[in-house]
Amino acid sequence: MTEPDVIIVRSADGQYRLEDAAPVRYRDAWPPPQDGMTTGEEQWFAVLTGMEWGPLNVGLDLRESAPAAIPPGWEAVTERRIHVTSSALHFLTTSLDLVHELALPTAGWWAVRVHVTGRMSRRPKEHSPDGLEEHLLQLWPVEGDAPPRLLVGPDAYGELLM
């Protein structure tokens, strides 16, 4: 596996958001988290962070197909789908400030595998001397929607949210 690209997102109010770059229609502003890691709908979802506010490194691994295995060392891993109609995915704060735009090779349904570790430290790795929290997102195109699936975990922080 090649090393993922790393972007810096801003956790705001304990989350960062991914959503379609096209206008999004919200049916429910905050569906209950089913996996202790994410919440959302077809065109958006939020990743729940242990830290309340500040910068957080997120690894991005854009793939052509699903990875064969989950890399070791992650406390929790979930997989969910997002429908992207514009072929771009926005990373946003809770106030919908754009932090990063990820160009995708095609519009349509994408699987996103969210890996987290260190959320109970409540501090980001690389941005705090005692921080342990880090995230990795793997994305690949898929045929359609599917419910979120917790593949590893939940971690101790996720248990608090379930």
* Domains in the chain: boundaries: 5-161
Residue 1: predicted pLDDT: 52
Predicted confidence at residue 26, as pLDDT, reads 86
Give the separation between CA 2 and CA 23, rounded to whole angstroms. 33
Tell how strand 44-48 and strand 38-41 pair up: antiparallel
pTM score, two decimals?
0.93
For domain 5-161, which CATH number applies: 2.40.128.20, 2.60.34.30, 2.60.40.420, 2.60.40.3080? 2.60.34.30
pLDDT at 61: 96
Q: Please write the tens of the pLDDT for every residue from 46-102.
A: 999 999 999 999 999 999 999 999 999 999 999 999 999 999 999 999 888 999 999
Instruction: Look at residues 92, 77, 8, 78 and name the one whose alpha carbon lies nearest to residue 44.
Output: 92
Q: Tokens 């975990």 correspond to what residue? A: 153
Residue 30 vs residue 98, higher pLDDT: 98
Give residue 131's pLDDT band: very low, low, confident or very high (50, 70, 90): confident
